[in-house]
Amino acid sequence: MALEAVIRAPSLPRLSLPLAFIILWSSGYIGGAIGLKYAEPFTMTFLRFFMAGSLLLIIAFVTGAPWPRSWKKVGHIAVVGLLMQAVQFGGLYSGMNNGVSAGVSALIVGLMPIFVALGAGWVLNERVSWRQWLGLFLGLGGVTMVVWHRIDGGGDLRGYLLVGLALSGITAGTLYQKRFCGDMDLRTGGFIQMSVGAAVLLVLARQTETMAISWTPEFVASVGWLAVMNSIGAISLLFLMIRRGEATRVASLFYLIPPVTAVMASFVLAEMPSATTMLGFTLAASGVYLSNRR
C-alpha cells in the first residue's frame, strides 16, 4: 500500500507517524462535537463508518488490494472491527447518553494504556519495564489534570458500565489486532472492519434513535472529516504502529489525545488553554516519552 511505503521511507522522521496519529485522532473529537449538533450519535457514527468503508472498498478495487486468504482471517479482522469500532464508540456514546460526563468518560477510557500494558505480558508476551510503568502512570496523571475541571456528577450505573465497555473494546481490540491481524491489508481489512462497525451502529440507531439528520454543510464536512481523516487516516496509522511496535508503547500515545484535543478546542473557541491544561499536557507528554524510550 502506498501509505505503508511512504511511512517506511528512511527520510521520514521517526516522530512523524505518532504525531500525525495524535493530531488526526484528536481532531475527531472536534469534528464529532460539530456533527452531533445535526444528528444523533449512533446515526452520525453509522454514516461515518459507512462512508469510510465505501471509500476503502473503492480504493481496494482500484489499486487491486489483496483480500484475506481464508474465512478465519476475515473473522479475525471482523472481531477487531467489532471491538475497536462498534464496542468502543457504541459503549462510549451510550454511556454519555446515560448521563456520564465527558470528563469522566475521558478518564475511564484514558485507562486504556494501563490495561493494554497488563494484557501485553499475558497475550503478547511483551515485557513492560519499570520505566514504562512510571511513564504510564505519569501520563494518566497528566490526563487527569486536563479533564478534572470537566468532571461533574451525573450518570447511572448503566452509563458507567457502558463507558467501561468502551474501554474494554479499545483495549481488547488493540491487543487482538497486534496478535492476529499484523499482516492485514489496510484497504481490504479496513473495509471489513468499517462494515462491521456500520452494521452494528445501524442496528443501534434504528432501535434507539429517530435517525433524523439536518444536512447542513457543517454536518457534511464533519462526517467527511471523521470518515477520511479519522476512520481511514488515524485508524490506518494506529494499525501500522501496532504492527511495527509494542502494544504498550503505542497505547501510551492515547495519553496525549485529551490534552491535544483540549488545546485544539481552545483555539477553535478562540480561547487560550489554561495553565492547568498545559501542565497536564506536559505531564502526559513526559509519560509518553518514558513509555516509549528504549
The pTM for the full model equals 0.82
User: Of 253, 213, 257, nearest to 26 (Cα)?
Assistant: 257
Q: What percent of the chain has pLDDT over 70?
A: 86
d(CA 268, CA 265): 5
**What is the arithmetic mean of pLDDT over 244-254?**
80
Comparing 136 with 39, the larger pLDDT belongs to 39
**The pLDDT of residue 270:** 58
Q: Quickly state the pLDDT bin for 178 (edges 50, 70, 90).
A: confident
Q: Quickly state the pLDDT bin for 1 (edges 50, 70, 90).
A: very low
**The pLDDT of residue 18:** 86
**What is the arithmetic mean of pLDDT over 229-243?**
89
pLDDT tens digits, residue range 187-213? 999 999 999 999 999 999 999 899 999
**What is the arithmetic mean of pLDDT over 17-29?**
85
Q: How far is CA 294 from CA 72, 121, 128, 245, 258, in A?
A: 35, 17, 11, 12, 25
